Every structure is written in C-alpha cells, then in structure tokens.
Homo-oligomer: A and B are copies of this chain.
C-alpha cells in the first residue's frame, strides 16, 4: 500500500511516519484515507488550513478561475487576480487596522518570506546581526535556519550558522524575570559581545517551539528595546497569523505595530503555497528583482486568498468564533491536566493555538499515536517533541471539535495511566 513511498521517497519524509495511511479526500476538519476511514484533523497542515480542507466557499472561486483560463503563473507580472488580492488585502486587512505596509510577494514558502525579511532588514540598517529567540522556528533554508533554535534543523544545515544571536523568550528565565530587560542590557552594554542587530525576529506564539506565548506587555517592551537600539522588529506571523489566535494578525491585541511582518501558511486560505512580507514603506528599499523567485506570482493562491478574505474577514465573526472555540478547547485541555495529576501537564496557548505540555516527548508521542488509531490527527512540537499541539481548523464544526477533544482526553488519560502503571511495575521512572 505504501510501497512506492518506501521504495523511492526520501527518508526525510516525516509526518507520514506518525500517520501511516494514505489519504484521499478531505473536507472541513476531516480527512479520509483510501480505506474510507475518516479522521478529525487537529493538525490543519501545521496551521495552513485555518479554513479547513477544501472550503466550499473558496473552492468555487478556484474552480471558476481555472475553468475560465485565468492566468495561473505570472512571475511578478500584473494580473487581474493579483490586483483583486491586493485590493481585498488592503481594504479588509490593512485599512481597518490603520496599517500602511507595502506588500512584497516572495517565493511561496514561509522560509522564503523570512529570508526576504532578514535581507531587507540587514540592508536597510547596514547591520548584519539579527536577534532571534530560544525555541524559535523560522524555516530551514540557510538564512532562516540560522534564526531557528532547534538543533535538529541547525545541525543539518551543512555549514556553521551565523548572523544571529539568540535571546531568551518571554518566560525563559523563569517567572518574574522580564527577559527584555536582559536583552536591553546586552544591547546597551558595548562589552556584551552582542553586535548591534539589524532586527529582532519574534513569533508572538511559538508554534514549533512548543506553544510558548509571549505576553502583550513583553511584546510592547520588546518593541521599545528595538527602538532604543535602532533595530527593526519583525513579527513572523506565518503560523500564528491569519486568525489562528483570533484576530487576523497575532500581534493586534498587544497594541504595537511591527516594522516587518511575514505571512504564509493559511494566507491562501486553501492550502496553496503563498507567502508575503509586509514592510513599513520606508523600508521598501528593494531594487527591482533583487529578491526574486519563479512562483512569487501564484495566481491560484491570489484567487483563493481573496476569497478567504472576502468570505471570512469582512466582520469579526471568525475572530469571535476562535475565541469561543479556543476557550472550549482550553477548558477541555485543562480538565485533562487536572485529571491526570500523576504528571505535571501544562496547558498553554492563545485562541486555537494550544498546547498540552507533557514534559516528556515519549508520553506526548504515545498520546498522539493513540489518537491516530482512534481517528484523530494531532501532532507534537517543542525541542523534545514534548508538547501535544492543538491546531484545529478555525472553522471546525462544534461537533468535530467536541469529538476530537473527547478522543484526545481518552488518549491522555490512558497514556498517563499506563505510564504511571509501568513506572509502578518497574519500580523506577
């Protein structure tokens, strides 16, 4: 059944090892494999499917556009589809939030957007260093992986990484210690060995890093530190943006405006490759074509992204729905943590970007594996894969959410107890 994959697909394949079946169709929050078995999706393409699989309201636009021979591939030529997207993005996203960014279409991967953001920051400031945070994930191309904390990716880079300094994320030095104060100290002290940074790049919630949440206050303090030291503030909103935490941008609630923002993943609304960088206009110092890429004009993504904006972002219904479902999911996770007090399970997150930190990659792995056998797709993150990560479609039907949480609760309880039983039997942990 999976013969050709094992025969010729590279060993680098990964998620298929956690979910060993072959999927055929998908709709909303459900995937169906070729045996006809349905799975509830609490993974959402690692945050790429905020509107679920094959959202019918978006699909319609896609089919019409393809059928009408709309331009599909346009490099960075002007097309009507690109114009429509820019108009929608401007009127539905930027203007209501009083944001005046320029929009750069990059190669359609998150890493490519990050690479472009780092380039423009370095060139605009004439500095080479960039501050990134412990447990950050910004992609695996050479420029992006240098800002990514995880040794798994770093050690695969093939070259020693450079050009970045890692600072402790909010909470990393323990409760009560404001890590922006330490960063400010490092940047103020001419003897600290930390070169003046072109930029600080931050995720407001670290997805791959283990669902670590930065407080609004910390983020605002971070922006103050950046301003004090002439560094640009880049918010990498690739996973946390597009409504994942509730508002369109994850930083809206925190009351500050980044200098540069990267978006990708759910931006196309349909799982299509698409990435952009938003720049304060004075930073848009690019010369024509300096950062290029064959697929920076992926018009099908323009069409679906426009549809996603017009279908979901003309009012605050989705944002409120995320808040409601997020609260429900968090309550369920907290109940699991309370019930399973044999382990120190910790719930973290914002909106529908939630994590159950099991403190232990093995336990988290058993929970996810068990969930798969019961028809739930859910994955882990964190440096030791110790956090069960809940990333449902934002549009998940209430029933599916409840059913998924019920399955997850069963798996958590079962695995915590079997672990505890095994420890009792073994006499040691």
Are A10 and B284 in contact (CB-based, < 8 A)?
A: yes
Identify A134's interface contact among B27, B132, B193, CB under 8 A.
Answer: B193
B158 close to A83 (CB less than 8 A): no
The answer, among B12, B23, B74, B143, for a CB contact under 8 Å with A289, is B12
Query: Which stretch of A112-120, A244-252, A324-332 is in the interface?
Result: A112-120
On whether the beta carbons of B102 and A382 are closer than 8 Å, the reply is no
Q: Are A76 and B15 in contact (CB under 8 A)?
A: yes
Mark the stretch among A59-67, A340-348, A395-403, A415-423 that contacts chain B.
A59-67
Minimum C-beta distance from A153 to chain B (A) = 7
Is there contact, CB below 8 Å, between B287 and A11? yes
In the complex, residue of chain B having the shortest beta-carbon distance to the beta carbon of A290:
B156
With A16-B76, A69-B25, A102-B10 known to touch, is A153 a contact of B112 (CB < 8 Å)? no
Q: Which residue of B lies closest to A65 (CB)?
A: B25
Q: Flag if A69 contacts B112 (CB, 8 Å).
A: no
A22 vs B82: C-alpha distance in the bound complex, in angstroms? Answer: 9
Contact A149 B119 (CB under 8 A): no
Cβ of A288: which chain B residues have Cβ within 8 Å of it? 11-14, 17
Q: Are A103 and B10 in contact (CB under 8 A)?
A: yes
Once A8-B103, A69-B25, A279-B10 are accepted as A-B contacts, the answer to whether A193 and B136 lie under 8 Å apart by CB is yes
The reply to whether the CB of A215 lies closer than 8 angstroms to some CB of chain B is no
A134 touches B189 (CB 8 A): yes
Residues of B within 8 A of A264 (CB): 294
Residue in contact with A49 in the complex, picked from B73, B115, B146, B162, CB distance below 8 Å: B73
A108 part of interface (Cβ distance < 8 Å): yes
**A238 to B: closest C-beta gap in Å:** 8
Residues of B within 8 A of A134 (CB): 186, 189, 191-193
Give min CB distance, A28 to chain B, whole Å. Answer: 10
Question: At the interface with chain B, which of A217-225, A266-274, A305-313, A362-370?
Answer: A266-274
Instruction: List the number of copies, as a whole number.
Output: 4
Known: A27-B69, A193-B164. A159 touches B293 (CB 8 A): no
B128:A159 contact, CB within 8 angstroms: yes
Partner of A108, one of B133, B185, B273: B273
Residue pair A54, B75 in contact (C-beta under 8 Å): no
- Cβ of A123 under 8 Å from chain B: yes
A53: Cβ under 8 A from any B Cβ: yes
A72 lies within 8 A of B129 (CB): no
- B74 & A45 in contact (Cβ 8 Å cutoff): yes
Separation of A121 and B157 alpha carbons in the complex (Å): 10
- Does B193 lie within 8 Å of A158, measured CB to CB? no
Q: A13-B105, A123-B158 are in contact. List 12 more A-B contacts (CB 8 A).
A: A15-B75, A109-B112, A121-B158, A132-B193, A135-B191, A140-B290, A141-B143, A142-B142, A151-B190, A161-B195, A162-B163, A272-B295
A98 within 8 A of B: no
With A22-B79, A107-B109 known to touch, is A193 a contact of B284 (CB < 8 Å)?
no
CA distance A294 to B139 in the complex (A): 9
Q: Is A48 an interface residue (CB 8 A)?
A: yes
Do A294 and B45 have beta carbons less than 8 Å apart? yes
